[in-house]
Structure 1
Amino acid sequence: MQALHFGAGNIGRGFIGKLLSDAGVHVTFADVNQQIIDDIAKRHEYPVNVVGEQSTTEIVKNVDAINSTSSEVIDHIAKVDLLTTAVGPQILARIAAIVAQGIIARHKQGNAKPLNIIACENMVKGTHHFKQEIFKTLPVELHEWVNTHIGFVDSAVDRIVPPATSKTGDILEVTVETFSEWIVDETQFIGKIPHIKGMEPVDNLMAFIERKLFTLNTGHAITAYLGFYHNIATIRDAILDERIRLIVRGAMEESGLVLIKRYNFDDQKHIAYIEKILSRFENPYLQDDTARVGRQPIRKLGANDRLIKPLLGTFEYQVQNTNLLIGIAAALNYRNDGDEQAVELADLIANKGVKAAFTEISGIENNNIIVQKVEELYTAMQNRQFV
């Protein structure tokens, strides 16, 4: 089995690429970083440090790499069995056109074997979004053929892969946590679902997407924003601060009530899941910066993302949201000159005021009572009156 994977960064190499290679799949990485491409193409392997109580270094083999802007990408798409991505939500639209060209080539060559495409991104229904971008540049007359021969499979991915500098100077070395979760929608595959250890097909994907989004992503973001606010550099140090920990756990419990009511989750099992997430944030072997995790605050304050979507759920099920609101106010206070969206957010608040900026970004109506609460919390933080 052959796969083309867009994105040879830390997540691509340390998570999806590793799982595919471990399952015996030949993986070709597509990326724009020529140094990484050349090293993978020369060595056909790279080390992954899996860190936790039982840390190991594993060698990922059976890999190759090409430049994602080259015509080789089109040739690969015409013949591979699986196409995956780990490029970031904003990049999907940029690579859609060349993927469409590869699909056109596949059709011209008469390759009727199933091809399944899985966008492994931190976003809800990322593959559905990717499909929409691909279809924009596909001829209309090919749409029916594509829907028959190509599966667009949504997924939920979960593994903390922080930036890490190799002690040996190896550009390909990557460090990951022991925990990983890759859940895919089994109803969206075309043809036989490939057996890949670590990839779990389910028929109720949205429940798992929201469980991860409302718990790991929500907690991670709030930890980052409160940590950054308190001048704490790392996620581990932030979550070990009892002030922050109480708010983060409280926010995950509030979003958890939404999940329990919406999907009939077992409440005790979900509390255990929250505790597992908190312990992952504490992992002493992972050095992840609050500044990195907090980046792109405008996206993270969007209606379908990790802060506002669970908040909307608290309206729907009439459950408490005090800690979620603190996390949202902390996100609005995120001031990082090294992050383009943080600068844009600060400018928007300066020009329009926090209430108008918040409602514009989140889509929440201005007359909603929580808008006033967010403004009050934001102002208290601005005035350093928030403990």
Structure 2
Amino acid sequence: MGTEFKALDLNTLPSSVERPAYDRSKLKARVAHIGFGAFARAHIAMHLHETLVASGDDWGMRVIELFGTPDLFNMLDENQRLYTLVETSDEGKSTRLLGAVCETQHVARDGIQAIIDGLAEEDLKVISMTITEKGYCVKNEHLDTDNPMIQHDLENLNTPKTAIGLIVAALAKRRELGIGAVTVMSCDNLPHNGHLTSIAVQEFAAKVDPDLATWVKENVSFPSTMVDRIVPALTDESRDIVRAELGGQADPNCIVCEPFRQWVIEDNFKVGRPKWELAGAQLVADVEPFEEMKLRTLNGSHSFLAYLGFLAGKETIADCAADPVFYAEARKLMVDEQRPTLNVPGDVDLVAYADMLLKRYSNSQLKHRTWQIAADGTQKMPQRWLNSVRYHLQHGTDHRHLILGIGGWMNYIKGKRGEETFEVVDPMKDVLAEIVSKYGDDREAYVNALLALDAVFPADLVANEQFTQSVHAAYAEVADKGAGQAVADLAN
């Protein structure tokens, strides 16, 4: 890809492509973002770009990668650190070059010491990250000291391999230099992500140096955030969309996503922040109600559609939304089963929120694959479904859609759709594969083995006979009738 790439010729881009309307030459790296993947480009850096458009401030972003090759960053640099964002829907497309990125650092190109030094600069006020759940190296609410990379970093703080080790190394240098306070902000789609980050960083620091841990407690804040934007993985089709929008030019750092975006941020910053509210971000005292609303309503319905839709032959979420039965039952899941479990601010209309989500799901221009959303179910189910199931069991209320979703997942992880086999992506895939191999032909033993996974199913739920019986029944229903018919029968 590197040899075929040509830098964008800005002079020949179509006039419809919007350019940054601010002086990029004065940007300083005041925000450093670790993990510059698709979501970071489409959401975090996009919000900063819009903030700069509205404010004219100098809050630039340095982007950092710890894994892979530096090819994409080299290409981003050749393009003056501009990249293309295409927002697409059935109503049309909007294309612009985003310019908030002012520096790039890749460990394979620049070395880890340069990255540590950069994070210790006085101008830097916010360290943000999108590193996926496994990047936090937290297990059972504590730093996972059994993780080999964490073990390496604890013994070799000057050459860290993890984002957590890198941050602690940078904080140690800030303390050593007397640089002072900074904010560390997670932007991953995780519940209580600020708390998770705080656990990882503070426990790591305490193991390195108790005095450093005390300094971190006094000088570093860890705000939680809630992020929402559908950003499908790039495909040849989406790259072709970008090429057409750019008048035939290619941009390897491009992103194609939906127009909708939401960012809720706990306003807890040690030494200032960009004026993100100018770009539509919501700065609040407590993120948790918004977080739970999204996890259960959006993510919960996404998982329902992903497992049952995929098994019914629907390749994308838009395919699911185009089916009147799947559309109606996904709405019932959100409105009838998830809404009662939520405690949101009084001005939030959860029915309107559900209808807005379904409109987003119906966007046929987004090829958001059900198989992609179905990944990592063992990590997703507890937050998206199981807490709601517990609520309904306690209140004696109907939750058949949630239970069918669990039955769908149990069928999905067998890796077969009719005669077709597919890869099951999950951090526990080896454990799941062993259960499938050992018990897959014995329904009762198979479901019981899955329910015995205490990392997924809490003991209080498994001890509830109503829960276990309903899960057994849901698994059998999907297996016998097929996912499509099982969803259709929910109406009855």
Normalised to the residue count of structure 1, the TM-score between the two structures is 0.92
After superposition, give the CA deviation of every residue in 1:332-370 in whole Å (9 maximum; x if it has no partner): 221344234256434335445213312422214333111
Contact 1:21 1:27 in 2 (8 A): no
Match of 1:66 in 2: 105
Contact 1:255 1:313 in 2 (8 A): no
Q: Verify: 1:29 aligned to 2:63, yes or no.
A: yes
Match of 1:377 in 2: 474
Distance 2:107 2:200 in 1: 17
Q: Verify: 1:121 aligned to 2:214, yes or no.
A: no
Contact 1:41 1:66 in 2 (8 A): no
Q: Verify: 1:367 aligned to 2:463, yes or no.
A: yes
Once the two structures are TM-superposed, the CA of residue 380 in structure 1 deviates from its matched residue by: 2.0
Equivalent residue in structure 2 for 1:255, among 332, 338, 341:
338
After superposition, give the CA deviation of every residue in 1:58-102 in whole Å (9 maximum; x if it has no partner): 111141221157222211211211111122111233310111101
Kindly provide the amino acid, as one letter, of the partner of residue 199 in structure 1.
A
Distance 1:263 1:183 in 2: 13
Contact 1:36 1:172 in 2 (8 A): yes
Once the two structures are TM-superposed, the CA of residue 224 in structure 1 deviates from its matched residue by: 0.8
Distance 2:34 2:190 in 1: 16
Kindly provide the amino acid, as one letter, of the partner of residue 119 in structure 1.
S
Equivalent residue in structure 2 for 1:95, among 141, 147, 163:
163
Counting matched residue pairs gives 380
Distance 2:51 2:300 in 1: 31
Distance 2:406 2:389 in 1: 9
Once the two structures are TM-superposed, the CA of residue 214 in structure 1 deviates from its matched residue by: 0.9
Match of 1:203 in 2: 285
Within 5 A, what are the aligned runs for 1:63-212? 63=101, 64-68=103-107, 70-79=112-121, 80-93=124-137, 94-112=162-180, 114-138=181-205, 139-165=209-235, 166-167=239-240, 168=243, 169-186=250-267, 188-196=268-276, 197-212=279-294
Match of 2:158 in 1: none
Once the two structures are TM-superposed, the CA of residue 148 in structure 1 deviates from its matched residue by: 2.0
Give the match's secondary structure for 1:137. Answer: helix
Kindly provide the amino acid, as one letter, of the partner of residue 294 in structure 2.
K
Unaligned 5+ residue runs, structure 2? 1-27, 53-58, 138-161, 244-249, 416-421, 440-444, 486-492
After superposition, give the CA deviation of every residue in 1:134-167 in whole Å (9 maximum; x if it has no partner): 2233121112221222110111110000012312
Equivalent residue in structure 1 for 2:44, among 6, 13, 16:
16
Kindly provide the amino acid, as one letter, of the partner of residue 115 in structure 2.
V
Distance 1:317 1:203 in 2: 30
Give the match's secondary structure for 1:57. Answer: strand
Give the match's secondary structure for 1:71. Answer: helix
Distance 1:385 1:228 in 2: 11
Distance 2:345 2:363 in 1: 30
Distance 1:325 1:99 in 2: 41
Match of 2:450 in 1: 357
Within 5 A, what are the aligned runs for 1:308-327? 308-327=386-405
Stretch deviating more after TM superposition (366-375 or 273-282):
366-375
After superposition, give the CA deviation of every residue in 1:244-293 in whole Å (9 maximum; x if it has no partner): 2232112112111111xx346568x2101000001111112211111001
Kindly provide the amino acid, as one letter, of the partner of residue 29 in structure 1.
V
Give the match's secondary structure for 1:383. Answer: helix
Give the match's secondary structure for 1:48. Answer: strand
Quick one: structure 1 residues 75 and 318, their matched pair in 2 at CA, closer, same or farther if it must change by over 3 Å?
Answer: farther
Normalised to the residue count of structure 2, the TM-score between the two structures is 0.73
Kindly provide the amino acid, as one letter, of the partner of residue 135 in structure 2.
I
Match of 2:93 in 1: 55
Give the match's secondary structure for 1:338. Answer: coil
Give the match's secondary structure for 2:356. Answer: helix
Within 5 A, what are the aligned runs for 1:290-301? 290-301=370-381
Quick one: structure 1 residues 92 and 275, their matched pair in 2 at CA, closer, same or farther if it must change by over 3 Å?
Answer: same
Match of 2:311 in 1: 229
Contact 2:309 2:320 in 1 (8 A): yes
Stretch deviating more after TM superposition (118-127 or 197-206):
197-206
Unaligned 5+ residue runs, structure 1? none
Q: Percent of pairs identical after alignment?
A: 21
Question: Rg: which structure is higher?
Answer: 2
Once the two structures are TM-superposed, the CA of residue 318 in structure 1 deviates from its matched residue by: 4.0
Contact 2:223 2:265 in 1 (8 A): yes
Contact 2:263 2:281 in 1 (8 A): yes
Contact 1:257 1:319 in 2 (8 A): no
Quick one: structure 1 residues 343 and 281, their matched pair in 2 at CA, closer, same or farther if it must change by over 3 Å?
Answer: farther
Once the two structures are TM-superposed, the CA of residue 126 in structure 1 deviates from its matched residue by: 1.5
